[in-house]
């Protein structure tokens, strides 16, 4: 589980294209499961270190557009342009990271320096992955994302701040823009909690439930008594 944080300031990169599929951020599949994957879990959550450039060219987020076929940087990609190449906040469009699969996309974005993504909407699996990985996802109405992008383009070197405690996004040239977030997920992110950190306190209740369920629905527990 990644360490959480309560505030992040940095340069923002405007990248407002809609429907960016998770595989466009990080292509899935080939080779990912071929390297030390036995310890990765859930098993379709490969870690960036599981990927090897000899079997899999994808080791950077947005590799498809950041690099040309000959391996050199594509100067047209915003991620290769100053000052955005040092950005830590990504401004994204609608349905960012759609595609129903767990993927290293969030980890790869972290790997290239992003700590927060502000989007007009996320793919639900990717959103969960972000929280798990320590990449802070902010859902903001499209018009506010566009306004932030416009400010960014006008003054790209001004730092943007995402404050998790105040639940605001600020820039020196704009007032705070509030955002909403599920309080549990917010707390979970800030404290870097994993599922078991949240479920452990319920172990006694879980035991009581189990006892009751064994009486009520015994067939669920009869999987190993049957003759083979």
Partner 1 sequence: MKRREFIKTGIGAGVGCGFVPVQSLFAQQAAGKTLFDKIWEAHEISFLGGVTSVLHVDRMMLPDSGPSSIRRLLQAGEAIRNPELVWAVADHQVSTSPERYTNRSLNLGSVADEFPEMKEQLAAMGIQAFGIDDPEQGIQHVVGPETGLTLPGMLMVAGDSHTCTHGALGCVSWGGETAQNVLLTGTVIRERARNLRVNYVGALGPWVRGKDMILHTIGTLGADAGNRCAVEYAGPLVRSLSVEGRMTICNLSIEMGAATGMVAPDDTTFEYVASREFAPRGALWDQALAYWRGLPTDDDAALYRDETIDMTDVEPQVTWGISPEHVIGVSDRIPSPDDAPFEKRDAWRRALEYTRLTPGDTIADTPVDEVFIGSCAESRIEDLRAAAEVVRGRRVAPNVLAWAIAGSQPVKRQAEAEGLDRIFRDAGFDWREPGCSKCYGSNGELVAQGKRSVSNSNRNYVGRQGIDAITHLVSTPMAAAAAIAGRIVDVRKLMAGEIA
Strand order in the sheet with 168-171: 7-10, 160-163, 168-171, 174-178
Considering beta carbons, is residue 86 or 180 the nearer one to partner 1?
180
Least distance in angstroms from the C-beta of 127 to partner 1 = 9
Q: Whole-angstrom Cα distance, residue 210 to residue 221? A: 10
Q: Which one, 157 or 196, has the nearer CB to partner 1?
A: 196
Kindly report the number of other CB atoms within 10 A of residue 134's CB atom. 17
Residues 130, 107: Cα–Cα separation, whole Å: 8
CA 133 to chain centre: 6
Judged by CB, which is closer to partner 1: 122, or 160? 122
Smallest separation (angstroms) from partner 1 to the CB of 215: 9
Residue 161 CB, nearest approach to partner 1 (Å): 27
Q: How far is the CB of 55 from partner 1 (least distance, A)?
A: 9
Whole-number minimum distance, CB 100 to partner 1, in Å? 4
Q: Which residue, 155 or 206, has its beta carbon nearer to partner 1?
A: 206
* Cβ–Cβ < 8 Å for 135, 87: no
Q: Which residues are at the interface with partner 1 (CB under 8 A)?
A: 17-19, 21, 23-24, 27-34, 37-45, 57-58, 64, 93-95, 98-102, 123-125, 128, 182-184, 194-196, 198-200, 202-203, 205-206, 208-213, 216-224, 226, 228
95 neighbors 121 (Cβ within 8 angstroms): yes
Task: Tell me the H-state helices in 55-201.
Answer: 63-66, 105-111, 124-133, 142-154, 183-191, 195-199
Q: Residue 205, SS3?
A: helix
Rounded-to-integer distance, Cα 108 and Cα 31, Å: 16
The residue among 173 and 211 lying less far from partner 1, judged by its C-beta, is 211
Is the Cβ of residue 43 or residue 150 nearer to partner 1 in the bound state? 43
Q: Min. distance of Cβ 133 from partner 1 in angstroms?
A: 13
């Amino acid at each position: 589980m990644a360490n959480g944080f309560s505030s992040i300031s940095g340069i923002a990169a405007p990248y407002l294209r809609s429907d960016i599929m998770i595989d466009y951020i990080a292509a899935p599949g080939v080779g990912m499961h071929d390297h030390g994957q036995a310890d990765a879990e859930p098993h379709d959550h490969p870690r960036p270190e599981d990927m090897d450039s000899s079997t899999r060219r994808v080791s950077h987020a947005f590799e498809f557009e950041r690099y040309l076929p000959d391996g050199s940087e594509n100067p047209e990609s915003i991620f290769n342009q100053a000052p955005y190449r040092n950005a830590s906040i990504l401004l994204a469009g609608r349905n960012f990271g759609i595609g129903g699969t767990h993927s290293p996309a969030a980890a790869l974005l972290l790997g290239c320096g992003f700590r927060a993504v502000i989007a007009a909407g996320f793919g639900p699996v990717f959103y969960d992955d972000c929280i798990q990985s320590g990449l802070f996802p902010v859902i903001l109405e499209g018009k506010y994302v566009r306004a932030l992008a416009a400010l960014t383009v006008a003054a790209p070197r001004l730092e943007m701040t995402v404050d998790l405690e105040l639940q605001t996004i600020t820039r020196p040239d704009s007032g705070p823009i509030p955002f909403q977030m599920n309080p549990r997920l917010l707390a979970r992110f800030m404290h870097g909690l994993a599922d078991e950190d949240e479920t452990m306190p319920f172990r006694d209740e879980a035991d009581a439930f189990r006892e009751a369920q064994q009486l009520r629905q015994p067939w669920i527990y009869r999987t190993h008594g049957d003759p083979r």
